[in-house]
Amino acid sequence: MFFSNLRGADQGLVTNDGTGLWSSMIGRSRSAAGVKVTPDSALAITVLQNCVTLLAESVAQLPLEMYRRLGDGKRESASNHPLYDVLRYQPNPWQTPYEYRECSQLACGLRGNAYSFIERHDDGSVKALYPMHNDKVTVLKGPDLLPYYRVGGHDPLPMRLVHHVRWHTKNHYTGMSPIELHADAVGLAQAVRHYASKSFANGTAVSGVIERPKESVAIKDESSIQRIVDQWGEKFSGVDNAKKVAMLQEGMTFKPLSMSNVDAELLGILKITGTDLARIYKIPPHMINDLEKASYNSLEQLLIQYVIFALMPWVKRHEEAMMRDFLLPGERRQYFIEFNLSGLLRGDQKSRYDSYAVGRQWGWLSINDIRRLENMPPVANGDIYLQPLNMTDVANELPNMHNPNVRAQLEQQRDDIVRMLAA
């Protein structure tokens, strides 16, 4: 193997369950409900699909920028770096940056890991990123404690050639699969939907029955029964025949049928399982179209809650994995990669403008700072920062009391204040 030939030592397979075995069977578990759970079958559940694609689309649409540090807290866009074009314009020959990041986050949301092969230039900079399917990748721990990646039956690849984003982990090398970890919750949702589908396919659902008295002579002619039923349906079924009055003969009665207790409870189970799946990804209920307890006043706060507690951890995982895998060790103090989440946290227009006004009046925002936050071009003389007239810098020198002009000015101010107080 690649590392064994160099160091003369075998690599160990990495697993999240402590057994020393990692396989492509991650996410293929049989739940307590007796249903086989896989990432593909889980993705067919509407609520879970909503959650994982919501996170994937959110990460993919965020502006991603690479900066160069200038000192004193200043920075500039590192548009001349080779990695800049890969991140902003074309990660590989066939994918857009949106598609690449969406694919990576979708793999993380379903399987807990996202792998990409890194093609590098001769100087070590990143040339292209090629996504790899999780089932083809096996993670190994080398004697130097660094991860190595075997793709198919090929020799292991060193860490510098693989971009790896992982979810929560117990072994520090591979992320746990949310689908495998919550196989029972996912399996219950699959079982309930499977039961409901089979009930409609194999069961019977009628709106009611026509009953005849026991003492009546049985109708043995099948055509007569069919004629009575057809006439009833023709006259009284459908929207156009609603509220019509019917007359039954021979002591017949019509008995409507209602939903059984089992079927009624099925609706509640479907709702509970949907909420339970949203909890896995920390998605607020209103973002899976459950508006039962949401109000107009709380939706903005729920959106901010989603950004901070659900989306932000994933964004940080991607950012720091990019910093680790894409930048050379000598570049990390000079360059950094960052997603811009300010657009999701801005709130409504009035709240934004009020906060801009405070920042402008108190001097920490310039006109061009505000215009940049609103995706507007800068204007001439827009980089001036204001300072309130009643505020002064504590670093300024104290007035020179030995200067006759300064002393006279201060005494005049003192006399004015005394005169105003005595009036």
Q: What is the pLDDT of residue 18?
A: 38
DSSP category for residue 311? I
Handedness of CA 44, 46, 47, 51 (dihedral sign): positive
- In the chain, count H helices and then E strands: 14, 13
Distance between CA atoms of residues 22 and 135, nearest Å: 11
Q: Which of the residue ranges 36-45, 77-86, 222-231, 260-269 would you say has the lowest mean pLDDT?
A: 260-269
Contact 273/263 with Cβ under 8 angstroms? no
DSSP category for residue 160? G
pLDDT-derived band of residue 52, with 50, 70 and 90 as boundaries? very high
Q: Where are the alpha helices (DSSP H) in 124-182?
A: 178-181
More confident residue, 22 or 264: 264
Q: What is the pLDDT of residue 419?
A: 67
Strands (E), 283-334: none
Residue 204 has pLDDT above 60, yes or no: no
Contact 179/186 with Cβ under 8 angstroms? yes
211 three-class SS: strand
Average pLDDT over residues 289-311: 75
Residue 242 has pLDDT above 70, yes or no: no
Q: What is the pLDDT of residue 61?
A: 92
More confident residue, 288 or 59: 59
Average pLDDT over residues 389-402: 61
Distance between CA atoms of residues 67 and 81, nearest Å: 10
More confident residue, 120 or 21: 120
